[in-house]
A and B are shown apart, each in its own frame.
Chain A
Amino acid sequence: MTMAALPVDPEALREQVREKYRDVAVDPHRTFHFHTGRRLAARLGYDEAVVDALPERAVESFAGVGNPFALRALAPGERAVDVGSGGGFDSFIAASQVGGGGRVVGVDMTPEMLKKSRQTAEALELRQVEFREGLAEALPVEDGWADVVISNGVINLCADKRTVFQEIRRVLRPGGRLQFADIANGRPVPPDAMRDIDLWTG
């Protein structure tokens, strides 16, 4: 898809997303247009015992829209990529499922989220988790590396979804799987609203 065919400018949208999620990283308890943290995790059906075992800093900036583990859990030893890993919540859940013999690579473009997730992984001594700076449209992961790709509430914030899905397919091994959560609308969004960049993040 050419940029001209996209509803909004991808880089302008990325900058707006970075600004919004910078706030979620550094000031997670303020009011956003979406729920965050433990209340959200409970609402979306995450395993309460697993969430309770995580420290507050691992959960407080969670801002997903569904549960990417609801349809299938990860298996011990699997290699996972978390697209748009944010504060790391889903990466830490993935780490608990793949165990010490697996690997989890979280990818995010917001510096404050990367800093937070890296510090939390270090505090939790999760050697199987690594966070890399990058875009969903250009994942810093080699071809065919992943058994599974997860994502939560991120792809809807990307202007060029086709490129994102192609990139996910590239990093998956043959037979690998994508399990993600995202929003979908049951009523059509008017073209003018599709071009309103403020509505994408608010």
Chain B
Amino acid sequence: MLEDIGFTDVIIGEPADTFGGATGETNARAFDVYGYGFLAYRP
């Protein structure tokens, strides 16, 4: 979607176990949910 909208040079960082140990962990594990950093540029 980022590139569709006109962003370029998209970089995705390493996953973070955002919900590990929280009460939302079960749902997060069910859908393999992690937090990521994204970097993209407007040409």
List A residues at the B interface (Cβ < 8 Å): 31-35, 43-45, 64-68, 70-72, 153, 161-162, 165-166, 169, 172-189, 199, 202
Contacts and interface: CB of A to CB of B under 8 A. Distances in A.
Contacts of A162: 1, 4-5
B6 to A, nearest CB: 6
B35 A179 contact: no
Contact of B42 (A44, A71, A176, A187): A176
Contacts of A187: 30-32
B18 A178 contact: no
A183 B33 contact: yes
B28 to A, nearest CB: 8
For the complex of A and B, 10 pairs with smallest distance between CB atoms:
A186-B32, A33-B24, A66-B35, A65-B35, A185-B31, A71-B39, A172-B42, A65-B18, A70-B37, A187-B32
A186 B34 contact: yes
A33 B39 contact: no
Contact of B23 (A31, A66, A70, A176): A31
16 contacts: A33-B23, A43-B18, A44-B35, A45-B16, A66-B35, A66-B36, A165-B2, A165-B5, A177-B42, A178-B7, A178-B38, A179-B39, A179-B40, A183-B34, A185-B33, A202-B24
Contact of B35 (A173, A177, A183, A202): A183
Contacts of A165: 1-2, 5, 7
Contacts of B4: 162
A184 B36 contact: yes
A31 B40 CA distance: 34
B27 A44 contact: no
A4 to B, nearest CB: 19
A72 B39 contact: yes
B16 A65 contact: yes
Contacts of A66: 13, 16, 18, 35-37
A65 B17 CA distance: 9
A187 B18 CA distance: 16
Contacts of A32: 22-24
A169 B5 contact: yes
A176 B35 CA distance: 23
A183 B18 contact: yes
